[in-house]
Amino acid sequence: MTVVTRSISSVSGQALRGARTGIPVVAPAKRQWSVLVWFSYFWIGLVVFLAIFASVLPIAPIDAVVGPPRQPPQLGSLDTLLGTDGTGRSLLSRLIYGGQVSLVVGTVSAAGGVLVGTILGLLAGYFRGRVDWIVTLAADVLLSFPALVLLLAITSIFSPSVPTLLIGLALTSTPTFIRLARANTMAWSSREFVRAARNMGASDTRIVLREILPNVVPTIAAYLPLVVAALIVAEGSLSFLGLGVPPPTPSWGGMINAGAAEMRTSPYLVFVPATVLFLTVFALNQAGEHLRLRFDRTLRD
Amino acid sequence: MSSLAGSGSAHLRGDAAILSVEDLEVEYHTARGAFKAVAGVSFDLLPGETLGIVGESGCGKSTTGRAVLRLDPIAGGTVRYREERIESASPARMRELRRDMQMIFQDPVSSLNPRRAVKDLVMEGAEIGGVAKKQRELEAPEILTQVGLPSERFAEMLPRQLSGGQAQRVAIGRALAVKPGLLICDEPVSALDVSVQAQVLNLLEELKAKYDLTIVFIAHDLGVVRSFSDNVLVMYLGKTCEFGDSVEVYARPAHPYTRGLLDSVPSPESPEGFTGPALTGDIPSPLNPPSGCRFRARCPIAQDVCAIEEPAMREVRPGQYAACHFPLD
């Protein structure tokens, strides 16, 4: 949408200036700095900053009771700014500390899933045949398990710990990326420029890395923030079952889950952490889109 | 003997040829069984010569071109390029050989990676060959100038900013940058506007003369082939119909199919709208080709023998060969 508007405005600008000087002038691409983008970078910076410096901030410890339970968000004290949870602990401080776990779990496990999924998807889509058969079968098997059952199985076989959790979550996100990468690879590798590259004597490695991968990455990158969000929530479900990060260490997903039981009487127990999660994912999307416009030449000019 | 019973290879000229294709077969495997898209095609090219391959859609002409580079698997027959046997070359050797045999594709936009700038696209061959970036930056403007794209304007452009003709020029530049011994043009102008077709053909003509290129020119447009080729090979349903000097073949076609193709060219002068009695019906399915001569179902002069015996290529007039039991005068 924005791209269309911009190109129209640049054309008219060019025509105006061209008419004045007699020389065609190409308008420089307008910078995309909307309020939303500003806010998104600010929000991501804020969340990361708070999570890193949580221990030196003047906020209550995560397990300290700061007031009566189930207080709604209120002005006054910093500790009760966002209200208190079912046992009277500060929601603000738990959100800030929870950011540590949630951000690490979301990004690291999604990164693992993207890495493994993209590699396998590229290989399957490019080489087809037996490789494709094995990879597709593995992806289908993983997909046919409900994600939660799969995570339960992993955490019950290996002792529940943060690395196990990361591996488990990465595994649940892998098949999605395999499918995405494989389908895109198949579409791109049938294009004639791949045939032309082979005809230049390019090796399979070169064709996959230089010709196909750059075309597959944008699709995957567009999907990535959504997966990060899903994984943050999935970690919460695991915490709820006692298989995630052990309490009292907070996480956003865990807080949403804990509040779900009291949704009817104290909805802000869910809404406060859910809003933070939503804003973070939204900001990741916006920032990702902005970075793509900034650095991807095929979308500009 | 069986190798000669098909389309035959009487028109081949032996060791002098730079490329020699004999009884080439390419098989496709579909859900309804395997079929031969190319069923015994033979042709050869002397150095510096241009061969046009014509035929209707689905006759196997593009498949033939790709099979020469082994971009489609060769199911039978032999392909000799200089002293090398293409059908049995090792994958590593094939990668080197392909650099010497370049191809230009029908869809110019699809044949360029959408994420590469024009200056990188034309130097792709050099990059794969291990030429340093600095050297490539120096050579790119030269190549672009040769194909009529001023470097200052086009070097940084992306494929989607180019018109079809400009994109095809980039593709031609990319192919010529590796200095190939053989150029295979697979319908290089079919996707372009008529005015642009002429420009691209002129460019090819110019480069052909300049570099003494040996070219296989695949097209369905008879006019384009006539102006561009020394010899012409007419294909029908995976088989060779006729081969000869392009002027001779166009002036006096010996095969009824060639006659039919020439007569099917639209003409405003004649009351029927065509130059002569146009071909009717569709090309039969290659999954179940007619017995004997594959063209007999649409042939105006077919006899009983045509259903029984497959005609071999034989010399009808000096230098003109046709695979027909009843060649035209």
Contacts of B127 (CB under 8 A, 6+ apart): B120, B136
**Per residue in B184-204, pLDDT tens?**
999 888 888 888 888 899 999
**Per residue in B272-288, pLDDT tens?**
778 777 787 778 888 88
User: Which residues of B fall within a CB distance of 8 Å from A201?
Assistant: 95-96, 98-99, 125, 128-129
% of chain A with per-residue pLDDT over 90: 24
Q: Which tokens go with A273?
A: 């952490």
**Per residue in B20-55, pLDDT tens?**
999 899 988 888 888 888 888 899 899 999 999 998
Q: Cβ B99–A200 below 8 Å, yes or no?
A: yes
If one compares A20 and A42, the residue with the highest pLDDT of the two is A42
% of chain B with per-residue pLDDT over 90: 26
Q: pLDDT class for A12, splitting at 50, 70, 90?
A: very low
Indicate whether B157 belongs to any domain.
no
Instruction: Give the CA distances from residue A206 to residues A6, A65, B92, B128, B140, in Å, rounded to whole numbers and listed in that order.
Output: 36, 59, 14, 9, 21
So where are chain A's domains? 90-299
Q: pLDDT class for B5, splitting at 50, 70, 90?
A: very low
Q: Cβ B158–A301 below 8 Å, yes or no?
A: yes
Indicate whether B256 belongs to any domain.
yes
Task: Say if residue B121's pLDDT is above 80.
Answer: yes
Indicate whether B122 belongs to any domain.
no
Task: Say if residue A125's pLDDT is above 50.
Answer: yes
A199 has a chain B CB within 8 A of its CB: yes
Most confident of the ranges A154-158, A266-270, B205-209: B205-209
* Tally of structural domains, chain B: 1
The pLDDT assigned to A178 comes to 95
B323 to chain A, closest Cα gap in Å = 33
The pLDDT assigned to A15 comes to 44
A76 has a chain B CB within 8 A of its CB: no
If one compares A173 and A160, the residue with the highest pLDDT of the two is A173
A300 has a chain B CB within 8 A of its CB: no
User: Which residues of A fall within a CB distance of 8 Å from B103?
Assistant: 195-196, 199
The pLDDT assigned to B301 comes to 86
Nearest-10 crossing angle of helices A162-189, A129-144: 130
Task: Please tell me the distance from the alpha carbon of residue B217 to that of residue B233, in angstroms, as a whole number.
Answer: 10
Task: Say if residue A102's pLDDT is above 90.
Answer: no
The pLDDT assigned to A25 comes to 62
Indicate whether B56 belongs to any domain.
yes
The pLDDT assigned to A5 comes to 42
Work out the average pLDDT over A219-240.
81
Q: Which of B98, B102, B111 sits opposite A192 (nearest CB)?
A: B111
Name the closest residue on chain A to residue B99, using Cα atoms. Answer: A200
Work out the average pLDDT over A238-247.
72
A31 has a chain B CB within 8 A of its CB: no
Q: Which stretch of A77-91, A101-115, A131-145, B144-158 has the lowest confidence by average pLDDT?
A: A77-91
Task: Please tell me the distance from the alpha carbon of residue A255 to that of residue A257, in angstroms, as a whole number.
Answer: 5
Question: Residue B198 sits in which domain range?
Answer: 2-112+162-322
Task: Please tell me the distance from the alpha carbon of residue B219 to that of residue A278, in angstroms, as a whole number.
Answer: 57
The pLDDT assigned to A18 comes to 41
User: Which residues of B fall within a CB distance of 8 Å from A301?
Assistant: 158, 161
Phi/psi for B287 (5° steps) reads -65, -30
CATH number, domain of B188, equals 3.40.50.300
B73 has a chain A CB within 8 A of its CB: no
Work out the average pLDDT over B291-302.
87
Q: Which residue type, as a one-letter code, is found at position A234?
A: A
DSSP string across B67-117: HHTTSS---EEEEEETTEEGGG--HHHHHHHHHHEEEE-S-TTTTS-TTS-
A129 has a chain B CB within 8 A of its CB: no
Task: Please tell me the distance from the alpha carbon of residue B76 to that of residue B74, in angstroms, as a whole number.
Answer: 6
Residue A29 near residue A60 (C-beta atoms within 8 A): no
Residue A133 near residue A123 (C-beta atoms within 8 A): no
Q: Cβ A201–B95 below 8 Å, yes or no?
A: yes
Indicate whether B80 belongs to any domain.
yes
Q: Which residue type, as a one-letter code, is found at position B24?
A: L
Task: Please tell me the distance from the alpha carbon of residue B276 to that of residue B264, in angstroms, as a whole number.
Answer: 7
Q: pLDDT class for A24, splitting at 50, 70, 90?
A: low
Indicate whether B144 belongs to any domain.
no
B112 has a chain A CB within 8 A of its CB: yes
Rg (CA), chain A: 24
Task: Say if residue A81's pLDDT is above 80.
Answer: no
Q: Which tokens go with B19?
A: 């490329």
Fold observed for domain A90-299: MetI-like fold (1.10.3720)
Residue B222 near residue B265 (C-beta atoms within 8 A): yes
Q: Which residues of A151-170 are buried (b: 16+ CB within 10 A; e: fewer)?
A: bbebbeeeebebebbbbbbb
User: Which residues of B fall within a CB distance of 8 Å from A206?
Assistant: 128
Name the closest residue on chain A to residue B93, using Cα atoms. Answer: A201
Q: Cβ B69–A202 below 8 Å, yes or no?
A: no
If one compares B86 and A17, the residue with the highest pLDDT of the two is B86
A294 has a chain B CB within 8 A of its CB: no
Across the strands, what pairs with B320?
B317
ipTM of this complex prediction, to 2 decimal places: 0.82
The pLDDT assigned to A118 comes to 95
Pairing of strands B231-236, B50-54: parallel
User: Which residues of B fall within a CB distance of 8 Å from A297?
Assistant: 115, 117, 158
- As a whole number of angstroms, the longest Cα–Cα distance in chain A is 75
Q: Which stretch of A74-78, B111-115, B148-152 has the lowest confidence by average pLDDT?
A: A74-78
Work out the average pLDDT over B64-82.
89
**Per residue in B88-120, pLDDT tens?**
889 889 888 888 899 999 888 889 999 899 999
Task: Please tell me the distance from the alpha carbon of residue B129 to that of residue A269, in angstroms, as a whole number.
Answer: 63
User: Which residues of A fall within a CB distance of 8 Å from B115?
Assistant: 214-215, 297-298
Most confident of the ranges A93-102, A255-264, B163-172, B277-286: B163-172
Work out the average pLDDT over B117-126.
90
Listing from the earlier edge strand, what are the strands of the sheet with B314-317?
B101-104, B182-186, B214-218, B50-54, B231-236, B239-245, B320-322, B314-317
Residue B212 near residue B18 (C-beta atoms within 8 A): no
**Helix or strand or coil: residue A262?**
coil
Q: pLDDT class for A240, splitting at 50, 70, 90?
A: low
Residue A199 near residue B104 (C-beta atoms within 8 A): no
If one compares A284 and A71, the residue with the highest pLDDT of the two is A284
Q: Cβ B105–A298 below 8 Å, yes or no?
A: no
Q: In the predicted model, what is the mean pLDDT of chain B?
A: 87
Q: Residues B1, B2, B6, B9: is their CA dihedral positive or negative?
A: negative
Task: Say if residue A135's pLDDT is above 90.
Answer: yes
Indicate whether B145 belongs to any domain.
no
Task: Say if residue A232's pLDDT is above 90.
Answer: no
Pairing of strands B84-85, B214-218: unpaired
Q: Which of A199, A201, A298 sits opposite B71 (nearest CB)?
A: A199
The residue count of chain A comes to: 301
Chain B window 140-179: which residues touch A at a Cβ cutoff of 8 Å?
A: 158, 160-161, 171, 174, 178
